[in-house]
Amino acid sequence: MSQIDPDKIEVILATDCGSTTTKAILIEKVDGEYRQTYRGEAPTTVEEPAADVTVGVVNAVTEVGELAGRRLIDDNGNILRPSNGKDGCDIYISTSSAGGGLQMMVAGVVREMTAASAKRAALGAGAIVMDVIASNDKRLPHEQIQRIRELRPDMILISGGTDGGTTTHVVQIAELVAPAKPQPRFGGAFRMPVIYAGNADAASLVEDVFDDSVELSVVPNLRPVLERENLGPARDAIHDLFLEHVMAHAPGYEKLIEWTDAPIMPTPGAVGNILQTIARRQGINAVGVDIGGATTDVFSVFTAPESEEPAFNRTVSANLGMSYSISNVCAEATLPSILRWVHFDMDERELRNRVKNKMIRPTTIPQTLEALVFEQAVAREALRLAYDQHKAFATTLKGVQQQRTVGDTFSQESSGQTIVDNMRLDLLVASGGVLSHAPRMEQTAAMLIDAFQPEGITTLAKDSIFMMPHLGVLAQVHDQAAMEVFERDCLVYLGTCVAAKGTGKLGKPCFQYKVDGGGLNEAGELNVGEMKRLPLDAGQSAHISIEPAIGFDFGAGPGKPVEQNVRGGTVGLILDARGRPLILPVSASDCRAAVTSWIEALELYPQT
Amino acid sequence: MAHAYAPGLTVTPRIRHRCRRVLPIAGKVLVAKGDQVAARDVVAETFMPGDVMPVNLANALSLPPADVPECLLKAEGDRIEVGDAIAQTKGMFGWFKSEYKSKVAGTIESISNVTGQMIVRGEPLPVQVQAYLTGEVAEVVPNEGVVIESDVTFIQGIFGIGDETFGPIRMACASQDDSLTAERITADMKDAIVIGGARMTGDAVRKAIEVGAAAVVAGGMDDQDLREILGYDLGVAITGSERLGVTLIITEGFGEIAMAKRTFDLFASRAGDEAAVNGATQIRAGVMRPEILVPCTKAASSGEQSGKHTPGLLDVGAPVRIIRDPYFGMIGSVAGLPSELTVLGSGSKARVLDVTVESGDVVTVPRANVEIIEE
């Protein structure tokens, strides 16, 4: 990897090697600003017959080069650097989730404390956590050992104990892992990487437990005291070992590692990176979601009211997705919950067979409107379940002693509360096929609002071409370029959702509104259960004043008025008076009537 | 081991098929290059380290862990049987001694003086790999396994349940349009690969398990029946480890759907022949589909197709199957490949193709919603 002078960078090439597709983008300095200019893609070539990831990278880069009229690959098949006129690029960076991404097993002493912190570290680094082993996970020791033997993770993270505390429990956990002799997923020739990030006093004892069959790395404790997490060193170790061991053993990665000017990151780790950068720079709370065929990732950055430091969390809902896992969404959410969002009759037996047929032939797309409506209903439930899982995971630290005063006598608050607060959410970013490729942006916005149920005033956006992974790595080497491209080319703003928190009787007044600016001069009142869309173009903003009815809250407290500037987008302004939590009518006919009215208000399916 | 998925499913009367059979960990290969092997022959074997049983001696004897070493009657590496005394406390003035007797047999792997935990390793577990494919050993992968090669009739299904099995092909239906019902399963189908036409009913599967059939293959099945047979709703299509007593394969998809005539006729042409079947399905990157392999005898080889399989191209005239509603299951040939994007009924824009279906009608479908029928 070469040293880079950020001021001299004019042309940036970035790739993301996914399980099926390798995506390449070109970023160029145009009139003094960094812009994403061209993109190309090609099938990923990790598997036979090519079995070399760089073949797919070269194909994708060649496509970009042809579109841009720029020679990016030299005669030897290498990436041409530095740029010179219409040749080459200045830096090349990449992310990867090919071969199923990074799969980890984590272990800790107490499931809700050190094991939860270890899981957070692994997820934050972009891994899929296959299982969490803990002293209190309700499995007997021999069952835990059997489980470790069955898993074939890429690496293992062990934590437990606070620094200076008891050493016995964490050594006991190591003693479960060591005899299981876990086998790495790729190839029997390399040693399983094990990271120890527990009680520093127990490090030498843990080293004694393991023999030469594993590659043990000791890093600072990820929970040095109960009140604080220190996930950075463990995450860095995961990234390093990911490159040194996992990636280096995947076909062609040795060459790819040599090509890149910054370390290759796991794709979700890079997405988390860019989201944190934006939240930090703009001082906002943000949630990002990426719904794929097999899994759904949710990322959040929230600053707790009493804290200065934004907390980043990522969850992977491993079996919530729109094709490979669609059947699992139906099993978990149940078909009646999905059909709540469908405004016409569907035969349940037929539908179940269709779901299974989508599962076994995951690349098919809905041809009819009926099939599209059903798929978007499934997406709402998949996103809702994934967000519920995220909220349950993104909590304040459990096990922390709290100082209580007399004033807290009747307070029910305890440690381990979710830090995800929809009222304080400023930006919700969507990506993934069903959201990005919906025929109408109104459909994307509606899926987001129904699933995430934002409260108060929330900006909605989508990642135009799933560029966030590329920008996540770029942020590490060129913060400014990453931010400029993110603002100008990455996000497509859908608009703003203005939603009332609280519940009331259907048809009773919910709030009055007045909107000025951006070509709008509207005022009116919405009753409970109603929705309204006001067009407000991308790049425009308007001023909104809201007078909520008693019991409804927009962020200032129940019944208190709110005024704010709101951002426009391809959908515009969505006023939502359905209340929060969003409860759909129980009776099937009432539910259908309500859903039909929302579909009409937002013009989701104008062809019906 | 099932075959990696190429676009479309392969259904071919004869193909040179290679099958990689390797152990999960290093072991011993029992055959040599050039050997002829039968499907049930063991070609490689190894021993996995035995199961592990942890016993906390400190807790069992109510001792601090540091005191455990001086109470031990056995050492690391010793072989122990059930009932053997492992450790004994010193007691008080030689009285009130307590003893720990092993509840498991095996070898003491380690005893920790930090936690007082003893790890007992059970007997090594034998792991064997069968040939699966009757044929010739084309390659030996040292310490891992072999590659076996043979000419076979090769039929890939779309989805399966259950793992590898073997048996003779038995046709249970007269036509590909006949549903496979319980009445068509008879006692003499024990250990056979039973071939149905259209949907296999839940009762037919239960009857097949009852008579001891090795596998059931049909065009489709109902999701409701699958749920009842499995006892749970299948969330993701990663199968092969089920233990139903029978392997199930569907060739077309879920629902009331007939087996493709070509597939059905091919099965009929191999009725009575021994087949190897694997229901394992994995629909993820690196897709695996279930498969039926019927080795071809040398006598049957004359004049038939041979050589390496090459995936077909989506071109005018290519035989295709429509794999999504509203035309799900229809078979036809490509009539046209318009290059411009077309607006679908859903409102999406997609690249489409025109297909002349069996009724003679021409329908337009997204290109993503067809698969080529591999020859």
* Tens-digit pLDDT profile for residues A581-605: 999 999 999 999 999 999 999 999 9
Question: What phi and psi, each to the nearest 5 degrees, are found at residue A219?
Answer: -125, 165
Across A151-165, A241-255, A448-462, least confident range? A241-255
Q: Does A100 touch chain B (CB under 8 A)?
A: yes
- pLDDT at B8 (0 to 100): 65
For residues A489-501, give the mean pLDDT: 94
> Residue B206: which pLDDT band, with cuts at 50, 70 and 90?
very high
Q: Does A230 touch chain B (CB under 8 A)?
A: no
Token couple for A589: 């006919």
The answer to whether the beta carbons of residues A58 and A76 sit under 8 Å apart is no
> Residue B306: which pLDDT band, with cuts at 50, 70 and 90?
very low
> How far is residue A213 from each of residues A130, A158, B107, B124, measured CA to CA in Å?
21, 16, 19, 18
Put simply, the chain A residues between 174 and 193 with a CB less than 8 A from any chain B CB are 175-176, 178-181, 183, 188
Task: Give chain A's end-to-end CA distance (angstroms, integer).
Answer: 56
What single string gives the DSSP state of each residue in A552-595?
Answer: -BSSS-TT--EEEEEE--SSEEEEE-S-BS----SSHHHHHHHH
Q: Does A50 touch chain B (CB under 8 A)?
A: no
Subunit contact A319:B235, Cβ cutoff 8 A: yes
> What whole-number distance in Å separates Cα of residue A440 and Cα of residue A290?
18
Is the pLDDT at B159 greater than 70? The verdict is yes
- Provide CB contacts within 8 A for A170, sequence distance 6+: A109, A158, A159, A160, A161, A198, A199, A202, A206
Put simply, the chain B residues between 103 and 142 with a CB less than 8 A from any chain A CB are 109-110, 112, 114-115, 117, 119, 121
- pLDDT at B30 (0 to 100): 96
> What whole-number distance in Å separates Cα of residue B103 and Cα of residue B99?
13
For residues B318-336, give the mean pLDDT: 89
> Residue A528: which pLDDT band, with cuts at 50, 70 and 90?
very high
Subunit contact A365:B285, Cβ cutoff 8 A: no
Domain A101-259 has CATH 3.60.20.10: no
> What whole-number distance in Å separates Cα of residue A470 and Cα of residue A94?
7
- pLDDT at A414 (0 to 100): 56
Q: Does A503 touch chain B (CB under 8 A)?
A: no
- Kindly identify which residue of chain B lies nearest to residue A43, measuring between CA atoms: B285
Subunit contact B233:A327, Cβ cutoff 8 A: yes
The answer to whether the beta carbons of residues B81 and B105 sit under 8 Å apart is yes
A80 vs B4, residue with greater confidence: A80
- Judged by DSSP in three states, A78 sits in coil
Token couple for B245: 């007593």
Architecture of the CATH domain A6-98: 2-Layer Sandwich (3.30)
The ipTM estimated for the assembled molecules is 0.84
Distance from CA of B224 to the nearest CA of A (A): 7
Token couple for A226: 């109960």
Q: How many CB atoms lie within 10 A of CB A13?
A: 32
For residues B272-285, give the mean pLDDT: 88
Put simply, the chain A residues between 473 and 502 with a CB less than 8 A from any chain B CB are none
Among B254, B283, B284, whose Cβ lies nearest the Cβ of A353?
B254
Start-end of H helices in A405-478: 433-436, 441-452, 468-477
- pLDDT at B309 (0 to 100): 41
The answer to whether the beta carbons of residues A445 and A459 sit under 8 Å apart is no
Across A109-123, A372-386, A394-408, least confident range? A394-408
Subunit contact B324:A357, Cβ cutoff 8 A: yes
Among A178, A179, A353, whose Cβ lies nearest the Cβ of B255?
A353
Q: Does B243 touch chain A (CB under 8 A)?
A: no
Q: Does B230 touch chain A (CB under 8 A)?
A: no
Q: How many CB atoms lie within 10 A of CB B338?
A: 11
pLDDT digit string (tens) for B359-370? 999 999 998 898
Q: Does A605 touch chain B (CB under 8 A)?
A: yes
pLDDT digit string (tens) for A166-192? 888 899 899 888 888 777 766 556 788
Among A145, A350, A363, whose Cβ lies nearest the Cβ of B52?
A145
Distance from CA of A457 to the nearest CA of B (A): 30
Among A168, A331, A365, whose Cβ lies nearest the Cβ of B366?
A365
Please report residues of B whose CB lies closer than 8 A to that of A362.
283
Is the pLDDT at A287 greater than 90? The verdict is yes
Q: Find the angle CA(A555)-CA(A558)-CA(A561) to the nearest 5 degrees.
A: 65
Domain boundaries defined on chain A: 6-98, 101-259, 270-398+416-602
Q: Does B367 touch chain A (CB under 8 A)?
A: no
Question: Is the Cα torsion angle A27, A29, A30, A33 positive or negative in sign?
Answer: positive
Distance from CA of A304 to the nearest CA of B (A): 36
Q: Does B186 touch chain A (CB under 8 A)?
A: no
Question: Is the Cα torsion angle A104, A110, A114, A117 positive or negative in sign?
Answer: positive
- Percentage, residues of chain A above pLDDT 90: 52
Q: Does B328 touch chain A (CB under 8 A)?
A: yes
Q: How many CB atoms lie within 10 A of CB B123?
A: 12
Subunit contact A349:B224, Cβ cutoff 8 A: yes
Subunit contact B346:A439, Cβ cutoff 8 A: yes
